[in-house]
Amino acid sequence: MTKTNNPETVASYLHCLSMLESNTSLLYKSLSEKAEMPLVKTLLLNIAQDSSKHSILLKGIADSIAVTKEKTKDCAKKLGETWRIIDTLLEDTKTVERMGKLELGKLIEKLKVLESSAGEEYYILVQMKTLQYMVKEINQLYRITLESTKNIFMKIIDDEEHHSELLATIKELLSEPEQQSQDNTPKVKFQNPDSWIQASPQSNP
């Protein structure tokens, strides 16, 4: 994003981020449906729902600045590596029907890279003068402060960090040995009942 004082450029970038979040939501929803462990399904679906909300929010902000129509190849160019990661993950998992611990475990690190890369896109955005110009454009229709707009993007950044934490939790669940529940069971060595009787003090007549 070079021309930060161009409303079409800003809106186009935000629309691409919205499309990215939409694709991310589709990916996590698909993984949730294919995962075998109930808790893992729930955590993946939680991330999918967050990503869907981000997509809707970003589109609303973009449309408040300028109405644009982005093509996939344009967004791929604008978002570079972040777009490539989500595109590759969607393609690689498209034909997989079920995902066990091993299959899903291999994807976790790639998903963490995706979340980190997406978070970087938003972090760069709030550090640039683009945010100030964005508020100026939106203020032509609505009353909103720079701080309020910045908070919207900071909340998305916080969500991306939370997603990384959820992925770390999922990784722990997937790597948990099946015998762990048995191994954690307290081991009690029972003595021969006769020894208890012999060890008991004699009662006084």
* CATH number of the domain to which 67 belongs: 1.20.1260
Residue 141 pLDDT exceeds 70: no
The three-state secondary structure class of 189 is coil
pLDDT of residue 71: 85
How does the average pLDDT of the chain come out, rounded?
Answer: 80
133 confidence band (pLDDT: 50, 70, 90): low
- Name the least confident of 19-23, 116-120, 151-155: 151-155
199 confidence band (pLDDT: 50, 70, 90): very low
Residue 153 lies in a domain: yes
Produce one character per residue of 14-33: b if its CB has 16 or more CB atoms within 10 Å, e if not. bbbbbbbbbbbbbbbbbbbe
Query: CA-CA distances (angstroms) from residue 162 to 47, 57, 112, 158, 203?
Result: 9, 18, 11, 6, 64
Sequence-ordered strand ranges (E) for the chain? none
Residues 6+ apart with CB under 8 A from 12: 62, 66, 68, 70, 74, 78
Residue 205 lies in a domain: no
More confident: 7 or 57: 57
Which range marks the domain in which residue 94 is found? Answer: 7-198
121 confidence band (pLDDT: 50, 70, 90): confident
* pTM value surpassing 0.85: no
Residue 159 lies in a domain: yes
The stretch 125-147 carries a mean pLDDT of 66
Say if residues 125 and 103 touch (Cβ distance below 8 Å): no
What's the total number of domains in the chain?
Answer: 1
pLDDT of residue 193: 46
Phi, psi of 194 (to 5 degrees): -60, -35
Residue 100 lies in a domain: yes
Going by C-alpha positions, the residue among 166, 151, 140 that lies closest to residue 66 is: 140
Residue 52 lies in a domain: yes
The stretch 83-100 carries a mean pLDDT of 91
151 confidence band (pLDDT: 50, 70, 90): confident
Residue 2 lies in a domain: no
Residue 203 lies in a domain: no
- Name the least confident of 133-142, 175-184, 187-196: 187-196
Residue 189 pLDDT exceeds 50: no
pLDDT of residue 43: 96
pLDDT > 70 fraction of the chain, expressed in percent and rounded: 74
Residue 106 pLDDT exceeds 50: yes
Angle at 44 between CA 41 and CA 48, to 5 degrees: 130
pLDDT of residue 146: 59
pLDDT of residue 182: 44
| Alpha-carbon gap, residue 71 to 171, rounded angstroms | 35
Residue 63 lies in a domain: yes
As to burial, measured by CB atoms within 10 angstroms (0-12 exposed, 13-18 middle, 19+ buried), residue 182 is exposed
